[in-house]
Amino acid sequence: MPERVALITGGARGIGRGVALDLAKDRWDIAICYRTSQQEAEEVKHTIEGQGGKAMAIQCDVSKPDEATKLVQQVEQAYGQIDALINGAGPYHRVSLLEETPEGWSEMFTNNLDPIFYLAKAVAPGMQSRKYGRIISFGMANADKMEGQTHVTAHYIAKVGVLILTRTLAKLFASHGITVNAISPGFVDSGSAPPEELEGMAKKIPAGYIGGVQDTVQAVRYFLSDDARYVTGANLHLSGGWGI
């Protein structure tokens, strides 16, 4: 594979970190951004560089349009291009809808949905000029069912929005050689949830076990590969049968 450049938001920890380290092994130049996880971001950068790869870690709040645009400009200036945008950033919290605060409600949309829009607009000119690009975002395994959710309401609605935005961008960019797809995980052990909580959830998963970061990495790799060049606007469930 020729050298490619990937911009990964939320690349300091969890799934984003796993994707960054995996792609770096395959000669991808990596740019990750983080908001607060500076130590973890630097560890990812140093690990990649220690293996002979190229990496940069940039502090950025991609929920702010100006910062998102500057991030893309900084990566393009350093590497000359961005071939893949992987939208891995996005917080999550559980709270009863009637106990949700205006700030908590807004945060779920501001950080899970808005950055995809800002960053897609920012990377579009470069990808369109090269007639090549890959954009991957993360949904939620049962978001396409649009069920009532009493304790993750705003987060869930934001993930439904991710799927709609994915299809819209896919339609807009298809003629430019750019694919836009979503991966919708169920329960994946990315280090963010307590082990006992994951163990309890395993009983509700048809496959009988919790997925790992590597499962997500392989899904990302598929969408980045030439095997998926004709796949756009897709939503890939990664849940062991949960949520379908």
Q: What's the pLDDT tens digit per position in 57-96?
A: 999 999 999 999 999 999 999 999 999 999 999 888 999 9
Q: Nearest-CA neighbor of 33 among 93, 94, 75, 3?
A: 75
The answer to whether residue 243 sits within a structural domain is no
The answer to whether residue 223 sits within a structural domain is yes
Tell me, what's the pLDDT at 197?
A: 75
* Count of domains forming the chain: 1
DSSP E strands in 166-220: the ranges are 178-185, 188-189, 211-212
Q: What's the pLDDT tens digit per position in 167-199?
A: 999 999 999 999 999 999 999 998 777 777 778
Q: What's the pLDDT tens digit per position in 105-157?
A: 999 999 999 999 999 999 999 999 999 999 999 999 999 999 999 999 999 99
SS3 237: strand
The answer to whether residue 111 sits within a structural domain is yes
The answer to whether residue 244 sits within a structural domain is no
Q: Nearest-CA neighbor of 181 among 229, 125, 122?
A: 229
pTM (predicted TM-score): 0.96
The rounded distance, in Å, linking the Cα atoms of 179 and 166 is 10
The answer to whether residue 73 sits within a structural domain is yes
Share of the chain above pLDDT 70, in %: 99
* Element at 75 (helix H, strand E): helix 65-79
16 Cβ contact list (under 8 Å, min separation 6)? 8, 9, 10, 32, 86, 88, 89
Asked if the model's pLDDT at residue 29 lies above 70, the reply is yes
DSSP E strands in the chain: the ranges are 4-9, 28-34, 55-59, 84-87, 133-138, 178-185, 188-189, 211-212, 235-238
Let me know: does 106 contact 157? Beta carbons within 8 Å: no
The answer to whether residue 117 sits within a structural domain is yes
CATH number at residue 177: 3.40.50.720
The answer to whether residue 85 sits within a structural domain is yes
- At residue 36 the predicted structure's pLDDT band, cuts being 50, 70 and 90, is very high
The answer to whether residue 151 sits within a structural domain is yes
- At residue 2 the predicted structure's pLDDT band, cuts being 50, 70 and 90, is low
Tell me, what's the pLDDT at 1?
A: 47
Tell me, what's the pLDDT at 240?
A: 97
Tell me, what's the pLDDT at 37?
A: 93
Q: What is the CA radius of gyration of the chain?
A: 17
Q: Which residues are catalytic?
A: 156
Q: Can you tell me the mean pLDDT for 37-53?
A: 97
Q: Nearest-CA neighbor of 24 among 46, 1, 2, 54?
A: 54
SS3 60: coil
- At residue 33 the predicted structure's pLDDT band, cuts being 50, 70 and 90, is very high
Q: Containing domain of residue 167, as a range?
A: 4-238
